[in-house]
Structure 1
Amino acid sequence: MEKNGRFFEGKTSARPMIYAYEDASYPGCLKVGYTAVDVEKRVAQQYPTLRPEGKKPYRVIFAEPALHEDGSSFTDHAIHRMLEKKGMERVGGEWFRCTEKEIRAAWLAVRTRTANMENRTRDFAMRPEQKEAVKRTLNYFKAERADGRTPRFLWNAKMRFGKTFAAYQLARRLNARRVLILTFKPAVQTAWKEDLETHLDFEGWQFICREQGPEALPIDAQYRQADAGRPIVCFGSFQDFLGVNKETDGIKPQHEWVREINWDLVIFDEYHFGAWKENAKALFLMEDEEEEYNTALPETNSGNVCDEQDLPITADHYLYLSGTPFRALNSGEFIEEQIYSWTYSDEQHAKAAWQGENNPYAALPRMVLLTYRMPEDIRQIALGGEFNEFDLNIFFQAKGKGSEARFTHEEYVQKWLDLIRGSHHATATDELKLGGKKPPMPYSDIRLMSLLNHTLWFLPDVASCHAMNNLLQQRQNI
């Protein structure tokens, strides 16, 4: 996205900060604010009549970055809510009757997202794209159910879209009483738990999951003790629910209750990690697949169509969440009417097009997205796969560990390294065809070289990372 005729802006000096200062006119009180400029300058702006040579009636006593541990930012509103939750009196506007120590404690709680955040202190609304995702999904669900089919819908949304919050809002609008969330990536449990337990919209909802510790209740016991009159959200991993009892080779006893419920909504989170695998699909049964499933099962001596422990999990609606659902899209698993997409480009456009105040995208960083056409002599090595497309997993395939790791196609990876630093000779002809106008490569274009102090490269696996480290140590790449 071009800005002021330039693709690459210089580095910004903006640094989000939380600050607090005292004023002799407000004894025992501190004002807590947020700024993206120099703190002293920001506070001075609040005293416009003060002469430069005059004595300052205020003193800044606290100034720390307004950043979570993962690098995302927050504002002074989060600090204000935390102070009020801790019992600090708000005496007006941003002024609180508190001490510097209490402000620091509140800042630490917000920054680290500790247990202090588990109270319901959030009341933000959905952003426009989240509302659109929920609306489109509800309409599709309604149409499919009217035709007697079990609906399946995919959200193909970038990181930080807010899939957990929006998915809960979808469940709320469905009037869902029983929601099952399954993932191949159990680490996302914290995000699901936090959104449900801190936002005012989900007051009364219950969250149960597999807990750790000697006194932790099994998940089935948690469900039995939950209030059946209120909505229940159950979170679990595919690895756990797909596992079998080694002694009986059947369902784990603590999971039998899951299959006794017809869930209102089942949510597959991080779907790209493996939910397309056959053993995972076998865990679920759509209504239109029931006849095929029953006829495929062997009869037993008891005369039952199937053994109860073979019964799959059923639901009225299915929602799939992923930021990179490329396999599902390429295989045609979802058609256009079943997909809502929100990309980085969409987000940047929404930020620039917003009219009026309170831009919900204002805190998002400006992004420059560059795509390149791979030279033919580099592309060929990764063609010929299932869809005859360039496959990064094949291209960066590696074997070995540590210093012994090597790329299977090291020669071509080397050509790729040459390409991104502008020394790949095969591109010279293409540049001549473009009239000498070279595309900006990350490690050769002067505008980019001055900005890229730190870069993050994602590779398919650990062996590829070791192989890349070893290749970068070779003389031609130093």
Structure 2
Amino acid sequence: MKNSRIDVYKPCNPTIYAYTSPNDSHLQGWTKIGYTGDEVEKRIWEQSHTSQAEEKLEWQKPAVFDDDSHTFSDRDFHAYLEKLGYERKPGTEWFKISPEKAKELLNAFRENHGGYRGGVQSYTLRKEQKEAVDKTLKYFESHGSGSEFLWNAKPRFGKTLTAYSLCKKLDAKRILIITNRPVIADSWYADYAKFLGKDNYYFVSDVEELHDKNKYPYCLTRAEYTGTIKNLTGNLKEYRKDKEKGVIEFVSLQDLKGSKAFGGQYEKLYDVAKINYDILIADESHEAFDTLKTRVAFKQISRKYTLYLSGTPFKALANNRFAKDAIFNWTYTGEQEAKRDWGGLGENPYADMPVLNMFAYSASSMVIPELQNGAVNGEEFEWAFDLNELFKTSGGHFIHDSAVDRFLDLLSSDPKYPFSSPEKRGEIRHTLWLLERVESAKALEEKLKTHRVFGSYGIVRAAGKAEKEDEEKSIQKSLVRVRKAIRDNAMTITLSVGQLTTGVTVPEWSAVLMLSNLASSTLQARPERYVQAIFRAQNPWHFQQIEDGERKYFVKENAYVFDFDPARALRMYDAFANDLYSHASEEVLDSCQRQENSARLLEFFPVYGEDEDGNMEALDSSQILSYPVKFEGMEAVRRGFRYDGLFQNIGIVLQNAEVMGIISQANKRMEEEEAEKNEEEEEEPDFGDIDAQGNAVPSEDSIKETEEKIFGSSSARLEFLSRGMDLPSAIENSKKEDVSSLVSKVFIKPVMEAAQEICPMSQSLKNECARAISNALIPKIAESEALYALETDRIKDERTEALKSAESSEMRAEINKIYDHKQKEAENEKQQRLSNLDNEGKQIAMEIVSEKLTQQEEKAEAEPFMEKVKADLRSLASAVPTFLMAYGTYNEDGSCKTTIENLDENISEEVFQEVTGISKEQFKLLRDGGDYTDPLTRESRHFDGNVFNSPVFNTAIADFMSLRKELANWFEEGDDRDIFDYIPPQKTNQIFTPKAVVKQMIDLFEEEEPGCFADPDHTFADLYIKSGLFIAEIVKRLYRNPEMKRLFPDGEKRLDHIFSSQVFGIAPSEIIYRIATNFIFGFSSNRTIPDKYRPNFEIADSAQLAKEGKLASFVEQRFGDYLPDSYKD
């Protein structure tokens, strides 16, 4: 079991050392130069203890620049030596240099930061990098032109250098690199300059990030590159030499999609559309690449091969886009295994990659302490089980303000949580907190600033941007503010709703707090958002600080994820362990395979979760799979089984009137007249199709019906179709405006205004319709524009070539006439396409508005029924703890025998129907499915069942039975809980008197009857038992009384006397009788009432007997032998 302490940093001793091997003739004149953060002698021994050679340590120096600005590695110094021309044994750290000269150069390097600018560095790919190149090369060669390959490789794999190496192996001369994040241009340029060099390739890019010529001296703009090529045409020798050079073109995806040549609106990147590339490399390909606009743009790029790079390609794998042999995997697990097993000479490239650790907490039990001891009225606390709801705001303030206060207070004081002490806060100094909404981030920012602990932190809100502000610029502004806060504050908190969770590096961040569901409705489809977020804490960080006047160096060893939705956290962990493997995309992994993958990951990514008592424990691989269900089961028990996670396929229930009727019956268990009243008020559901998750799925007929209702009249249709500037004219008159913005302004906006006038809509629905129209129309317009741009360029090039051969002005005029006609035809075709799209767009708009309105109406109609079904199901499920207390059984080994599948077996039909309001057969229909007769058509129909989520239900049942056993010994002092805290009342006559009230009432009774518990002949009766708590408390007082102990020294005999002669009870029903006796005798070996005591406990409706005046005679008849004479008189 791994240590659950929070330890982020460890001391390190960054040292560059040199040694020679005097007795090895092959190494005479060579010096080995290495790095370690540990003891030098230990590192040398690790490298050489298996050889016979003698190693002589020549010197060791701190690997720190003279100005103490930061540390460096041996790789940095090696590159410096190579630039100076010193020979290096390939794949080693041995240099042809004397130790003295190496030391002299190290001193110079430490002084000038390696300021020498020299030639290209040599490199040797690591094993896994070489494997990626070889596998990709083999695939490209066997599948030929047009083939695609995916590198599923996490950060620090070295993708840029490895990709360049692949290009060299392919002898690729025309390389196009496209990324959605231009900020990563620096790494592509740096490896180009370091390992390829300007003599072998041109590096061409117009992205703004590479404009600084001082920083990027070898980067040419497209115009500079074109000019360079033109200047060389007059020098045949240089031209031939230059033809051997390759070209690396770096383009941002935004620029590509904005170009007219690729379906955009701007005059740029036409050259890219004309080049036939050897390879296209799509970096960060999980971001914005899988869109229609991108696919349209990529269709216009002529290339032989395509390489996709991504650290989290969940979607690509899930969609089976790549064949198994078209994927190379390098995941977090592989990285950490390589770190552990590194045996190569030289510095371990993964040594400074921190180990991730996950702590999964339950926010609900933090903010509602009562839930720890059972919360039978769970509906009052629905918000506590949803992080987005917990942090929801209204008017700039948290709706559950006191709960958020309690959350922050516990987070910073309770020893279980990460900010609870100065020591822990000193470890996780800089953290990233993720929320769902900008408003939540704003409210939390204000609350943190005034908090007794967090008020001393630098708080940065990286959420929200100015209107019309570019997203990339907004991210850069946030990053600047974060880095400034870290410089100015010892500890910081960054609040985000998505910004800075991908593609950015903040080395100081050591933990990520998950305080949102991360749009949980889409999270299962996109777990990459979660994984990208948690990796923000895993970036390496070396730093220094002065302690006791001495400069000391530290390295980040561990990074942390604190997730406050434990079930979600472990589901994401399971996806991380399994769904990033290529084979997982082609087959469904069974639980054993998933468990094996989780076990492999756990070795390097430990997970800690709360046990039943709320203590943190390390989880094993089987728990990773089972704990999401276990957490849900625990929540269900805490909430008295009034928990939506116990149910599934609710949407299908709404499609079945018979099943809805059964569930509705389950909530009618009060007085008969109330049931009849409810029956009269019952509404028949009247809405369209609903999917299993409860989403409205309108039929074509219902959409057409809505369209006819809204746009059916000729005046309404004419009004709608007349709105919006026609697209051909709008696009023709716009020179620079982006197609998306233009169409939104001149077409979608006026069209939606017309729709609003005809049929008023909410702003959110209008926005939803506008997005849908935009998604349907803009890609088609973009494709039309791209086709026109390409055709125009083709005509232009052909005209130019034709004019070169013209020998007279007449010929030139004739050629121009021909190509003017072709150009006119191209324009006419474009105008026709746009005109068709104009009409088609308005028809699409009508259909979308009609569909969304229908969907909204049907959803609004279905929602009350959906909520009612959920409420009815919660009511039905709340009967389960009652059944378990009365009829639940254990196996011989003490484990729970009862499950949702056999729950009804030991219960009589009468009792089952009395408690639930439905028959056992109806219950089985909900659970197992089956055939039934439709009450309206009298036709036979089938229902699939599966309304109950069996894994969660059975876990909750097992947890309750375990709790029943744990709390069975009510003789023990010190535990204020009892099992009835977890059993919701089923009727008014089943409301259990709280334990504290029971004790108080017995205390009052003893005050009125002093010595009553010291008399072995004194008898006690509860004539209307509901739980058995009164009898149990009386037995406890009798058993512990000193006089009773003197009279009955033997505890078993004393207890036998009490149960056989002193306590009696009447329960109003069979189920109450079982509940009470199972509780009273729960401490016994068979956990139920022994036969010899059964005469003392009867089943009868004493309330009714009392009304009829028969209670006294009933009591005398049943318990007469034990009644005092005063009662008989």
Normalised-by-shorter TM-score class: 0.5 to 0.7
Give the equivalent residue in structure 1 for 2:269: 255
Instruction: Give 1:119's aligned residue.
Output: 119
What stretches of structure 2 of length at least 5 have no aligned partner?
Answer: 19-31, 43-57, 88-95, 230-241, 367-384, 455-1129
Correspondent of 2:332 among 344, 357, 382: 344
Query: Which deviations, in whole Å up to 9, do the C-alpha atoms of 1:338-358 show, x marking residues without a partner?
Result: 332222222111222334644
Deviation at 1:101, TM superposition (A): 7.6
Whole-angstrom CA distance in 2 between matches of 1:462 and 1:200: 45
**Which residue of the partner structure matches residue 357 of structure 2?**
369
8 Å Cα contact 2:147/2:305 also seen in 1: yes
Q: Which moved more, 1:457-466 or 1:130-139?
A: 457-466
Shift in CA distance, 369/332, structure 1 to aligned 2, threshold 3 Å: farther
Equivalences for 1:206-217 in 2 at 5 Å?
A: 206-210=202-206, 212=211
Corresponding residue of 2:10: 12
Spell out the pairing of 1:252-401 with structure 2 (5 A cutoff). 252-285=266-299, 312-355=300-343, 357-358=345-346, 360-361=348-349, 363-370=351-358, 372=360
Give a deviation string over 1:208-259, Cα, whole Å, max 9, x none.
112537999641441563533322110011111222469xx96655411111
How far does residue 276 in structure 1 lie from its aligned partner after superposition?
Answer: 1.7
Q: Deviations over 1:379-399 (max 9, x none)?
A: xxxxxxxxxxx999x789989
Q: Is residue 15–residue 62 contact of structure 2 (8 Å, CA) maintained in 1?
A: no
1:260-286 deviation line (CA, Å, top 9, x unaligned): 12211111112233122221221012x
Question: Out of 156, 170, 173, which is 1:177 matched to?
Answer: 173
- Residue number in structure 2 paired with 1:239: 254
Mapped partners of 1:405, 1:15: distance in 2: 49
Which residue of 222, 230, 249 corresponds with 1:219? 222
State the distance in 1 between where 2:447 and 2:276 align. Answer: 53
Aligned AA (2:306): Y
Deviations 1:181-221 (A, max 9, x none): 01111111111111112116996122111253799964144
Q: Does 1:457 align with 2:471?
A: no
**SS state at 1:235 partner:** strand
- TM-score, normalization: structure 2? 0.29
CA RMSD, aligned part only?
5.2
Distance in structure 1 (CA, Å) of the matches to 2:171 and 2:199:
14
**SS at 1:242's partner residue?**
helix
SS at match of 1:179: strand
- In the alignment, what sits opposite 1:300? none
Of residues 170-179 and 195-204 in structure 1, the stretch that sits farther from structure 2 once superposed is: 195-204
| Cα distance, 1:141 vs structure 2 | 2.5
Structure 1 residues 359 and 33 mapped into 2: Cα distance closer, same or farther (>3 Å)? closer
* Residues 417-455 of structure 1 deviation map (CA, whole Å, 9 limit, x = unaligned): 6897797xxxxxxxxxxxxxx9x76446x9993773324
CA distance in 1, matches of 2:38, 2:157: 27
Residue 103 of structure 1 corresponds to: 109
| Larger relative contact order (CA 8 Å, sep ≥ 6) | 1
Mapped partners of 1:325, 1:268: distance in 2? 12
Q: Check conservation: 2:152, 2:312, Cα contact below 8 A.
A: yes
Provide the rounded CA distance (Å) in 2 between the counterparts of 1:476 and 1:59: 51
1:317 CA drift (Å): 1.2
Which has the higher mean CA deviation after the structures are superposed, 217-226 or 273-282? 217-226
Q: Is contact 1:218–1:254 with CA below 8 Å preserved after alignment?
A: no
Amino acid at match of 2:10: T
> Does the Cα contact within 8 Å between 1:265 and 1:318 map onto a contact in 2?
yes
**For the residues of structure 1 that align with 2:386 and 2:412, how far apart are their CA atoms?**
22
State the alpha-carbon separation in 1 of the partners of residues 154 and 36 from structure 2: 28
How far apart are 1:86 and its partner, in Å? 6.0
Pair 1:357–1:135, CA change in 2 (3 A): same
Letter in 2 for 1:119: G
Report the Cα distance in structure 2 between the residues aligned to 1:391 and 1:140, rounded to whole angstroms. Answer: 46
Give SS of 1:233's match: strand
CA distance in 2, matches of 1:97, 1:469: 52
Q: Is the 8 A contact 2:63 2:73 kept in 1?
A: no
Contact 1:152–1:338 (8 Å) recurs in 2? yes
**Residues in 1 aligned to 2:301 and 2:13: alpha-carbon distance in whole angstroms:** 49
Q: For the residues of structure 2 that align with 1:220 and 1:338, how far apart are their CA atoms?
A: 36
Structure 1 residues 180 and 477: alpha-carbon distance in aligned structure 2, compared to 1, 3 A threshold: same
Structure 1's 92 and 208: CA in aligned 2 closer, same or farther, altered over 3 A?
A: same
1:132 correspondence with 2:138: no
Mapped to 1, the partners of 2:221 and 2:413 lie a distance apart of: 57
SS of alignment partner, residue 264 of structure 1? strand
Q: Give the Å deviation of 1:377.
A: 9.2
Aligned-residue sequence identity (percent) comes to 30
The 3 A distance-change label for structure 1 pair 179 and 273 is same
Change (3 A) 1:118 1:406: farther
1: CA distance, partners of 2:326 / 2:410 = 38
AA aligned to 1:282 is V
1:82 aligns with 2:80: yes
Picking from 175, 183, 190, the partner of 1:187 is 183
- Secondary structure of 1:119's counterpart equals coil
The whole-number CA distance in structure 1 between the counterparts of 2:338 and 2:295 is: 36
Distance 1:15 1:229, change over 3 A: same
Aligned position for 1:383? none
* Per-residue deviation, residues 62-97 of structure 1 (Å, max 9, x unmatched): 87269998x8x6424523542674699996125348
CA contact (8 A) 2:13 2:37 kept: yes
Secondary structure of the structure 2 residue equivalent to 1:259: helix
Going from structure 1 to structure 2, the CA distance change for 1:61 and 1:217 (only over 3 Å counts) comes to closer
Amino acid at match of 2:283: D
Q: CA deviation at 1:164?
A: 0.7
CA distance in 2, matches of 1:222, 1:399: 54
Task: Provide structure 1 residue ranges, at least 5 long, that are not aligned to the other structure.
Answer: 21-30, 43-57, 110-115, 286-311, 379-389, 424-437
Query: Relative to structure 1, is the Cα distance of residues 351 and 67 closer, same or farther in structure 2, using a 3 angstrom cutoff?
Result: farther
- Post-superposition offset of 1:162: 0.8
| 2:132 alignment partner, SS class | helix
User: TM-score, normalization: structure 1?
Assistant: 0.61
1:91–1:129: structure 2 CA closer, same or farther, 3 Å change rule? closer
The structural deviation recorded for 1:177 is: 1.4
Structure-2 change in CA distance of 1:222 and 1:13 (3 Å): same
In 1, distance between residues paired with 2:118 and 2:392?
A: 43
Aligned to 2:140: 141
2:446 is the counterpart of 1:470: yes
Contact 2:80-2:114 within 8 A present in 1 as well: no
- Code of the aligned partner of 2:162: A
SS at match of 1:192: helix
Is the partner of 1:236 in helix, strand or coil? strand
Give the residue type in structure 2 aligned to 1:255. L
Q: Is the 8 A contact 2:419 2:425 kept in 1?
A: no
Q: Over alpha carbons, which structure has the higher Rg?
A: 2
Of 164, 169, 176, the residue aligned with 1:168 is: 164
User: d(CA) in 2 for partners of 1:396 and 1:222?
Assistant: 56
Matched-pair contact (CA < 8 Å) for 1:68–1:74: no
Structure 1 residues 10 and 374: alpha-carbon distance in aligned structure 2, compared to 1, 3 A threshold: closer
